[in-house]
Structure 1
Amino acid sequence: MSDVIKLISPVDGSVYAERPALDESALNRVVTAARSAQADWAAAPLAERVACCLKALDALKAMNDEVVPELAWQMGRPVRYGGELGGTVERTEYCANTAAEALADIERTDKPGFKRYLKRVPLGIVMVIAPWNYPFMTAINTIMPALMAGNVVILKHAAQTLLVGERLARAFEIAGLPKGVFQNIVLTHAGTEKLLGSGVIDHVNFTGSVGGGRAIEKALSGTFATLGLELGGKDPAYVRADADLNYAVENLVDGAFYNSGQCCCGIERIYVHESRYDKFVEGFVDLTSQYKLGNPLDEATTLGPMAQTRFASWVREQTQEALRKGAKAHIDTTSFAMDKDGTPYLAPQVLTEVNHQMSVMREESFGPVVGIMKVKDDAEALQFMNDSPYGLTASIWTEDVDAAAEIGDKIETGTVFMNRCDYLDPALVWTGVKDTGKGAALSEIGFHNLTRPKSFHFRVDH
């Protein structure tokens, strides 16, 4: 009897969906189908592959009215925010518009009598292990460029968002994608580790925890598969003395609490120049207190439950530890009726008088809490921003572009923002440093990480 994967809804704790995990024989059929389909798919013209991906995008667009409440049930994001279609469209269309240039041959013409060029060829079978927090967009980051580049894709989605994989599979089916080119699977952790260790997968992209990334690296050991990892984050913001304060407050509150803080590049810690600190905190607390915590299916709700109760418990523990060590909480959580221990419903919280001896300023929270510290200058802000085992994004709030560039050069991170945060630009590479992971997605570099270079060296004059 096969294992059953259950999706427990954070809305009410019910089993929203359950699916049997593939057994070994079924998984072997998936791999065989993928390998059999790959050569013909890679041989298809690029324009044909791109067109098929765009048709799948059209199919996803047509599903969106059903997908939005489905996402709320699966992982708790309020329906008022409309799902993830905007980002999915933007990233897919960018890939479609740039695939030809990113995958073009590079010719070397400096030696008469020779024809020499570099070609980018697909890796083969790409496995995407996708997370629940942005279940469409994070998966699309790899799926679309992988398929356009001539790879075949096996998707294993998080148990919390089981139905997203099925939606994507249906979209590609509607688009007429050949059998075996894209397959959605349901698999246990043990089954996943066995598949990775088998050596049949050519590239793996994983978005998730640091511990999960280490487990995947271990499972792949000795297979020589390439690997992309986007893991933990503790993304900082620095508000300089010359910042537009109202603009910074509005955007940083959203950057901290959108999706209940369950964002890879969400704002988790803020450093504010001492001359603006009091007014910034006042404005930040006022705007945070206006959130409405509740059932995500209610249009009035602006903050839904966290995806699982254990995630909310971790944030509660971090907050209590900070308070025991002298932090000050600015939000009266009793005014949020839905906030209850033992549930995934958690009110937003703003902490001051925090320091880097507190977990909330060092370890990933991935929830609706943010610590704010006063700093005296750029140098002190930079010191604190780099005092982290993670490095995904950092944002600087200032009117001085040169200063932002100078500070940004010294921040240990994959992306530096000025006057914005919590956003993926498909034209720019998405990558991290330190424990945040390795590899890259988006931009032409994303295509390059899903292909391998092959050299052609022909002597034509002999």
Structure 2
Amino acid sequence: MTKTTQKTISPVDGRVYAERELAEPEELEAALARAAKAQKAWAKTSLEERMRIVTRMGEVMLGAVEEVAQELTWQMGRPIRYSPKEITGGFVERARYMTRVAPLALQDVPVEELPGFTRFIRREPLGVVLVLAPWNYPYLTSVNTIVPALLAGNVVLLKHSAQTPLVAERYAWAFQEAGLPEGVFQYLHMDHDLVARAIADPRVAFVAFTGSVAGGRAVERAAAGHFKGVALELGGKDPAYVRSDADLEFSAVNLVDGAMFNSGQSCCGVERIYVQEAIYEPFVEAFVAETLKLKLGNPLDLETTLGPMVRTEAAEFVRGQIAEAVAQGAKALIDPRHFPADAPGTPYLAPQVLVNVHHGMRIMVEESFGPVVGIMPVKSDEEALALMNDSPYGLTASIWSRDEGAALALGEAIETGTVFLNRCDYLDPALAWTGVKESGRGCSLSVLGYEQLTRPKSYHLRRL
């Protein structure tokens, strides 16, 4: 019987870069059986040994960084000049941090002494953790759950995006090289129906999903009634607010990076900017000048700073948003002819900056997930705050100012999971990564990230 396959079409040149067979129900059954068996022994393995193996896995990945970077660029189109940093930067930083804080995060929780009693709370692993990972930052998004889940004594089953299947295979290889026992980490290439079956399976104790709002709803439906934890990292329409006391040049340079890096394909990328009127025109001028420095082209060229979007359909969606906004009165400040590689009908899309925009336009309220940003003038902090909160999303928001007190005051009122000052589009592993509204629920990274991957068990021991 011929098995169904999935094809990974490279955005670089449109060819089939990888083709993999999709798992059948019996393969899922075998994987879950192995996982459930392996978890019992893994949970009894010392934390020190778990930490050693996870650390070794990171070292193995670092040793293969050039190959991994090439695979990454071919699979999802990020310029090769940046691909190695996904491993040498964020991936390693997060894995090392979560390993370092594991003893603190997983230690017994003491309670006040009571004569004649020993009382404490112990954190126990949940069991099998199913990780559903996306293509846009395929290592960074998945490591947030995989590493702490394993360190906490869970086992992991990974289903990676069909766009980046080699990432799952790299994980498996690195863990095998590091000496991880069989069954503790596994991956399967699965279709939606089999993923739903995995989510509903009683042996899966927790599901971590990163992706679209629609995908998050599908995960919740599959998990409904099964009484298991679900963490959802979903969409974003992240705002930036540039106050009149901001460092104008610094803000423009960093916000271009925050909006355009990875071709804008970041859940916490900047998609809308509000600027106080006093500096609005010079800010827009500086922002456009910085955008024009980008080089759109073949991501395998070391000079390229802006690669293709992941699929032609994604690029066409953004083109449609831009055209609709212009038809509604927006002004496009970037001439696509400045970027010769821009080609309608392909994933190669020039960056765009729009002014004369308002919240009646999709471009300012609907997730774009591409290299486009709208910029609006505002009169006050109050107006900026109202506009920043006028969104179904709430992942991050950035404030650009020399006044930390003003940023803290605004931050208390912004409906978002993370507030930045003079920074954007970054995950600090020491801080909780979480969203509000349709940006999802749950918490990864930091010592708090271990809480959703463990359950508390109370010990109440009376001495006779």
TM-score bracket, shorter-length normalisation? over 0.9
Runs of 4+ with >3 A deviation: none
Match of 1:399 in 2: 402
**Amino acid in the other structure paired with 1:322:** A
**TM-score, with normalisation over the residues of structure 2?**
0.99
Determine the structure 2 residue equivalent to 1:200: 203
Q: How far apart are 1:2 and its partner, in Å?
A: 2.2
The equivalent of 1:4 in structure 2 is: 5
Alignment of 1:362-441 (within 5 A): 362-441=365-444
Cα shift at 1:198: 2.5
Secondary structure at the aligned position of 2:157 is classed as: strand
Contact map agreement 1:356 1:362 (CA 8 A) in 2: yes
CA contact (8 A) 2:72 2:83 kept: no
SS at match of 1:17: strand
Residue aligned with 1:407, SS: helix
Amino acid of the residue matched to residue 61 of structure 2? L
Letter in 1 for 2:297: G
Q: Tell whether the 8 Å contact from 1:3 to 1:188 is kept in structure 2 after alignment.
A: no
Q: Does 1:357 align with 2:360?
A: yes
Quick check: 1:262–1:366 contact (8 Å CA) kept in 2? yes
- Once the two structures are TM-superposed, the CA of residue 107 in structure 1 deviates from its matched residue by 1.5
Q: Please give the alpha-carbon distance, in whole angstroms, between the structure 2 residues aligned to 1:57 and 1:5.
A: 28
Partner in structure 2 of residue 168 of structure 1: 171
- How big is each residue's C-alpha offset from its partner over 1:146-183, in whole Å with a ceiling of 9 and x where there is no partner? 00000000000000001011011100000010000000
The equivalences for 1:16-415 within 5 A come to 16-83=17-84, 84-85=86-87, 86-415=89-418
CA distance in 2, matches of 1:457, 1:329: 66
- 1:199 CA displacement: 2.4
SS at match of 1:100: helix
User: Does the 8 Å CA contact 1:273/1:374 hold for their aligned counterparts?
Assistant: yes
Contact 2:73 2:83 in 1 (8 A): no
- Partners in 1 of 2:446 and 2:158 — Cα distance? 21
Tell me how far apart the structure 2 counterparts of residues 390 and 382 of structure 1 sit (CA, whole Å).
14
Equivalent residues of 1:108, 1:115 under 8 A apart: no
Same amino acid, percent of matched pairs: 57
Secondary structure, counterpart of 1:272 in structure 2: strand
Deviations 1:96-148 (A, max 9, x none): 11000001101123311110000000000001000000000100000000000
Q: For residues 95 and 329 of structure 1, what CA distance do their matches in structure 2 show?
A: 43
Structure 2 runs not aligned, ≥5 long: none
The alignment covers a number of residue pairs equal to 461
Match of 1:275, SS state, is: helix
Report the Cα distance in structure 1 between the residues aligned to 2:284 and 2:444, rounded to whole angstroms: 35
Give the drift of 1:349. 0.2
Give 1:335 shift: 2.0
Q: Which amino acid in the other structure matches residue 22 of structure 2?
A: A
Please, which of 449, 457, 460 is the counterpart of residue 457 of structure 1? 460
Q: How far, CA to CA, are the matches of 1:291 and 1:221 in structure 2?
A: 45
Matches of 1:150 and 1:160 in 2, distance apart? Answer: 29
Give 3-state SS (helix, strand or coil) of 1:73's partner.
helix
